[in-house]
Chain A
Amino acid sequence: MDVLTQVLVSSVLLAAVYYILSLGLNIIFGVLDIVNFAHGAMIILGAYATYYLNALTGWNPFVLVIFDGIIVAGIGAILYLGYLRFTTNSPLVRMFALIGFSSVVVAALLVLSGSTFRDVTVDYGLTEIFGVTVRVSQIVAFFFAIVLGAITLLALNYTKVGKAVNAVTDDRVSVQLSGINDRNLSLLAFSVGAGLAGASGGVISSYIAFIPESGLTFAIVAFSVVIIGGLGDLKGGAIAALIVALLQTAVNVYVSSALVNTALFLTVLLVLLFRPRGILGKGRV
């Protein structure tokens, strides 16, 4: 029972972080129909932003999350305005362009920071939940993730711009015909998606040490959540985040930590073959 409780508690704490890890990806896909293969790079950019800002200012990584978000959002905006919108308007081509960008970012970080693990984890001590020992920083990360996710969802569903963004995911032409500049909305969505990736990278940096290639691991998680939850479905994503967290933790504990990606691959494959629209069936095909 003990191990099971530990798995459950860890998974729930992780799930919130996994959810915000996937939000940016989902938004970009919903609005622009692009699978952002640079997502992992954007996440790790956020983590490194925390590292360098922390070195510069000594501020707490949790506080720096906002700055991570802004910085990476800015990078996303530049990428979109200065490059992406000029490429062929094909989701597949743009996906590969983003893979290229991802390589550039990871390589640049390698050159800049090397292969040493960077550690800005905070230590607030330990505590117990349901008899399971957890780090307090994990709980703080959990709440940060919830707040970040909530703010994003509220903005999407209750602000005029948010509703317009939602409208674009439904039917872009109708948005244009209503006199709304959809290209600005695309830019906004891409930047917000990037910013969310960066911010979630900042949250992660509070409890994991990282190297440039770590972006890949986080990207795999994010993609898993998005696919299992249904591409573009933000509610399904929440459930999927929990599923992915559970799956990962369970495989880690009960099978082998060296087979996690294989488990995710099989799950994703099964979902795509038998329930391509995700758990809630509301994803975009």
Chain B
Amino acid sequence: MNWRHWVVISGAVVIAGMGIALEGQPFWLRVFTFAMLMSAVAQSWNLLAGYTGQWSLAQLAFFGIAAYLAGMIEIYTGLPLLMGLLPAVGLTAIIAAFIGLATLRLRGHYFAVVTFFMLAALYELVRYFANYTGGQYGMTLPYVEGNDILNLQFENRLVYYYAAFAVMVITTGILWATVKSPLGLILRSIRDDQDSAAALGIRTLGTKVLAMVISSVMAGIAGVVYLGWSKLMDAETAFGVHNSLDPVVGGILGGAGQLLGGVVGQFALRPIVATVYDVFGSIPGVSSLAYGVILMLVILLLPKGLLGLKVAQGTAGKVSGFESFRDRTGEKLKTVLTGKKGA
């Protein structure tokens, strides 16, 4: 348990407490509920991009697919949302496996381009099968009075906040478990040098597909809970080009390859976007302007994301950030006082 663990735990406690504090502020309650749901998607992007080296533009698709599936399950079989979560996410995982098998042979920009095409195709398909999906009007779930856990229906929006909090914790937990496991090590070796990894006998395609499946589960869970919260899912939200940038920007802003990248990124991103929307909301395009500018600035100034900053990193390895700061300052003092370099 080092200082980092304490920071994370206190952060979680603060966020949990914040929910109660925000009870009277529906705007901010909404902002942070959404932030936590999207952090799950950003973290799922993080797993595939930051840890496996496959930068996808279509991570949001799994969020959308799971939501659509859960919604359709409820509409056509009557199975309530919460219970439909498992089959929906499971199906999404299977779909992810197929998508992965088809696309993960590709790397780098080829992979990114293909995910871009896939997004366009999915957008089209959802509208083509409008009979099942509601087409461009989207799929709406019936609103029920009162509380109904199985349908993820709560009177008090605050409960959604904590549901989203649970989603955030669970998905970050999944990421953490994956990264710390032997699988995580293999993924990183694939990210750093896929050819060498393959030469060592690692089944790179299978492992990457597994990573995609896990990431789809993460995004999928968030998608179903989102559906319970907003009762609406449409092609634009799931497969729109602008919205798809959201997990990417969140992941890059927080730090791709950092355990909390998606979380930090979304918590930084959401308030900005929401404020921009609030102030300029009536003008269409302003929020995507914000995304674009943030993305461009982050890549230029903070290519490793917020968590990649020296302050957050400390030094790689045993010495913590504070200790290395202390040592370096000590060195500087010594040089100044003795007029000599080095000990």
- What string of 1s and 0s marks CB contacts (under 8 Å) between B72-106 and chain A? 00000000000000000000000000000011011
Given A100-B291, A111-B289, A265-B117, residue A92 in contact with residue B284 (CB < 8 A): no
Query: Known contacts A93-B299, A273-B105; is A265 also within 8 Å of B118 by CB?
Result: yes
Does B307 reach chain A (CB closer than 8 Å)? no
Q: Residue on B with the closest CB to A256?
A: B128
**A211-236: contact bitstring with B at CB < 8 Å (1 yes, 0 no)?**
01000100010011001000000000
Q: Are B106 and A272 in contact (CB under 8 A)?
A: yes
Also in contact, A92 and B121, with CB within 8 A (given A99-B245, A108-B289, A269-B102):
no
Q: What residues of A have a CB within 8 angstroms of the CB of B139 in the complex?
A: none
CB atoms of B295 and A103 under 8 A apart: yes
Interface: B322 (CB within 8 A): no
Interface positions of B from 158 to 193, Cβ below 8 Å from A: none
Q: CB of A147 within 8 A of chain B?
A: no
Chain A residues whose CB sits within 8 angstroms of the CB of B121 once the complex forms: 261-262, 264-266
- Does A101 count as interface, using CB distance less than 8 angstroms? yes
A106 at the interface (CB under 8 A from B): yes
Out of B109, B252, B284, B299, name the residue touching A91 (CB < 8 Å).
B109
Say whether, besides A223-B116, A261-B123, A97 and B299 are in contact (CB < 8 Å): yes
Given A104-B289, A115-B284, A261-B123, A276–B110 Cβ distance below 8 Å?
A: yes
Nearest CB of chain B from residue A71's CB, rounded to whole Å: 20
Report the interface size class on chain B: 35 or more
A residues 228-285 touching B (CB-CB < 8 Å): 256, 258-262, 264-266, 268-269, 272-273, 276
- Known interface pairs A216-B241, A258-B128, A276-B110. Does A100 touch B296 (Cβ–Cβ under 8 Å)? yes
- CB distance B296 to A97 under 8 Å? yes
- CB-contact partner of A88 in B294, B296, B303, under 8 A: B303
Q: Are B300 and A259 in contact (CB under 8 A)?
A: no
When the two chains form the complex, which single residue of B55, B57, B127, B291 contacts A103, counting CB atoms closer than 8 Å? B291
Compute how far the CA of A2 lies from the CA of B315 in the bound complex, rounded to whole angstroms. Answer: 71
CB distance from A193 to the nearest CB of B (A): 15
Contact code string B239-255 (vs A, CB < 8 Å = 1, else 0): 00110010011001000
Q: Does chain A have a CB within 8 A of B120?
A: yes
Contact A265 B120 (CB under 8 A): yes
- Tell me, yes or no, whether B312 is within 8 Å of chain A by CB: no
B252 near A96: Cβ-Cβ < 8 Å? yes
Q: A107-B285, A107-B288, A107-B292 are in contact. Are A269 and B103 (CB under 8 A)?
A: yes
Residues 250-305 of B at the A interface (beta carbon under 8 Å)? 252, 283-289, 291-296, 299-300, 303
Closest to A104 in B: B292
Tell me the complex Cα distance, A256–B130, Å. Answer: 14
Residues of A within 8 A of B55 (CB): 92, 96
B286 close to A107 (CB less than 8 A): yes
Instruction: Give every chain A residue within 8 A of B108 (Cβ-Cβ).
Output: 91-92
**Neighbouring B residues of A86 by C-beta, 8 Å:** 300
Residue of A227, A256, A264, A269 most packed against chain B (CB within 10 A): A269
Please tell me if the beta carbons of A107 and B289 are within 8 angstroms of each other in the complex: yes
Interface size class of A (residues with CB under 8 A): 35 or more
A130 within 8 A of B: no
Task: Find out whether the CB atom of B288 lies under 8 angstroms from the CB atom of A103.
Answer: yes
Chain B residues in 8 Å Cβ range of A92: 55, 108-109, 112
Closest-CB distance, A8 to chain B (whole angstroms)? 25
Describe A's contact surface by its main secondary structure: helix
| Chain A CB within 8 A of B113 CB | yes
Interface 1/0s, chain B 206-237, versus A by CB < 8 A? 00000000000000000000000000000000
Name which residue of chain A comes closest to B290, CB basis.
Answer: A107
Of all chain A residues, which has the CB nearest B295?
A100
Please, how many angstroms separate the alpha-carbon atoms of A96 and B112 in the complex?
9
Complex interface residues of chain A between 69 and 111 (CB less than 8 A to chain B)? 83, 86-88, 91-93, 95-97, 99-111
C-alpha gap A96/B295 in the complex (Å): 8
User: Could you say which residues of chain A place their CB within 8 Å of the CB of B125?
Assistant: 259, 262
A15–B245 CA distance with the chains assembled, in angstroms: 31
Contacts A35-B113, A100-B295, A258-B127 given: A106-B300 contact, CB under 8 Å?
no
Q: How far is the CA of A99 from the CA of B303 in the complex (A)?
A: 15
**A109 contact set on B, CB distance < 8 A:** 285
Name the one of B128, B249, B292 contacting A102, with C-beta atoms under 8 angstroms: B292
Q: Is the CB of B114 within 8 A of A268?
A: yes
Is B295 a contact of A97 with CB atoms below 8 Å? yes
| A262 and B291 within 8 A (CB) | no
Contact status B284-A110, CB under 8 Å: yes
- A267 smallest CB distance to B (angstroms): 9
> What are 28 A-to-B residue pairs whose CB atoms are below 8 Å?
A35-B112, A83-B300, A87-B300, A95-B109, A96-B248, A96-B252, A96-B295, A97-B295, A97-B300, A99-B292, A100-B292, A103-B291, A109-B285, A110-B283, A110-B284, A111-B284, A111-B285, A115-B284, A216-B241, A259-B128, A261-B121, A262-B124, A262-B125, A265-B114, A265-B120, A265-B121, A269-B114, A272-B106
Interface contacts beyond A87-B300, A88-B303, A114-B284: sample of 4 additional A-B pairs, CB < 8 Å, sorted by A: A223-B116, A261-B121, A262-B128, A273-B102
